[in-house]
Amino acid sequence: MSGLLTRRGLVTAGVATVAGAAGVGAAVQLAGRYGLIPPDRAGILGVGESLTYSAQRLLISNQALAREFPRSDISRIAPVNGPAPKDETYRRLLAGSFKDWRLTVDGMVATPLSFSLEQLKNLPRDTHINLHSCEEGWSYVAEWTGVRLSSVLEMVKPRSDARYVVFVPFANPNQHTGIVRALWDSLDMADALHPQTLLAYAMNGDALPADHGAPVRLRVARQLGYKNTKYLSRLILTDSMDRFGKRAGSRSAEGGNAWYGGI
């Protein structure tokens, strides 16, 4: 056994361990300062989430565009997870073509605003045809029309320390369990200000169907399907996701999914 354990070996291993731990500690500090640690950083699985998020934020330009498709590629079938809310308030808004619906944008902003659907439609419109891929494995191509989230944020003037936009929807039932929940979510500013990120009110040329998130849903082309929050009612700007829910950054992250869906 004398060959396996030597003093030099022990000293080398000890120095390497201390240096390695110090290096990891410094890297985590630095990553935190540059906003490279995601809200769902807790626990052993948070290590993988943090590596994925920081690697993508470091290697992928904030301006890199998700793929766009020709109109001929639009899918015939666009499945839905999470059908429209069934509660009285939502039913009444839907029946009235969302004339009484308002989207409130507040939190860490200079000018909190509330938008009607007409007001959003009168802002500069943008259209994208891209892939919607579900974490379950299915995918479809659709055309989305709406206003860029960046245009709306420009109007409310986010404070310079705002780091996330929180998306608060109407609560809707889960298609499998029937449990009614508000599937709130959040984006960092890189994806919130991205030119393909829309508050979409039309799909494939028609008004957004109820089950696809009417009146307005988020479209974030560089992340998986579940990040595209439907049935929006309020946006909140914040500097920390620790103020929301179980501090994981989204309802789906509390249920196990990655907060960063660009994976």
**CA gap 217, 74 in Å, rounded:** 19
* Entry field: residues in the chain: 263
Q: Work out how close the CB of 160 gets to other proteins at its nearest, in angstroms, rounded to a whole number.
A: 26
The H or E element containing residue 221 is none
- Site for other proteins contains 176 (CB under 8 A): yes
* Residue 239 lies near other proteins (rule: CB under 8 A): no
CB of 256 to other proteins, least distance (A): 3
Are 66 and 222 within 8 A, CB to CB? Answer: yes
What single-letter DSSP state applies at residue 71? G
Q: Please give the residues from 136 up to 155 whose contact with other proteins meets the rule CB under 8 A.
A: 136-141
Q: Which is nearer to other proteins, 104 or 133 (CB)?
A: 133
* Residue 93: C-alpha distances to residues 97, 100, 202, 258 (Å): 6, 6, 17, 32
Q: Does 44 bind other proteins (CB under 8 A)?
A: yes
Task: Copy the structure tokens of residue 172.
Answer: 């809707």
Per CB under 8 A, 5 contacts other proteins? no
With contacts defined by CB under 8 A, name the span among 43-51, 93-101, 117-125, 162-170 that binds other proteins: 43-51
Among the listed ranges 103-111, 148-156, 180-188, 253-261, the one in contact with other proteins (CB under 8 A) is 253-261
Smallest gap from Cβ 109 to other proteins, in A, equals: 27
> Does 47 engage in binding with other proteins (CB under 8 A)?
yes
Which x/- pattern, by CB under 8 A, does the window 75-104 give for other proteins? xxxxx-------------------------
Q: Which residues of 78-95 are buried (b: 16+ CB within 10 A; e: fewer)?
A: beebbebbeeeebeebbe
The closest alpha carbon to 169, from 226, 109, 131, 119, belongs to 226
Host H or E run for residue 136: none
Q: Taking a C-beta distance cutoff of 8 angstroms, is the pair 41, 49 a contact?
A: yes
CA distances from 94 to 84, 128, 206 (A): 10, 25, 15
- Please identify, among the stretches 16-24, 84-92, 101-109, 135-143, the one whose residues bind other proteins according to the rule CB under 8 A: 135-143
Distance CA 80, CA 83 (A): 7
> Residue 78 Cβ, how far from other proteins at the closest point, in Å?
8
Cβ distance to other proteins smaller for residue 244 or 259: 259
Near other proteins by CB under 8 A: residue from 69, 121, 181, 207: 69
Binding site for other proteins (CB under 8 A): 3, 40, 44-45, 47-49, 51-52, 56, 59-61, 64-67, 69, 73, 75-79, 131, 133-141, 176, 221-224, 252, 255-258, 261-263
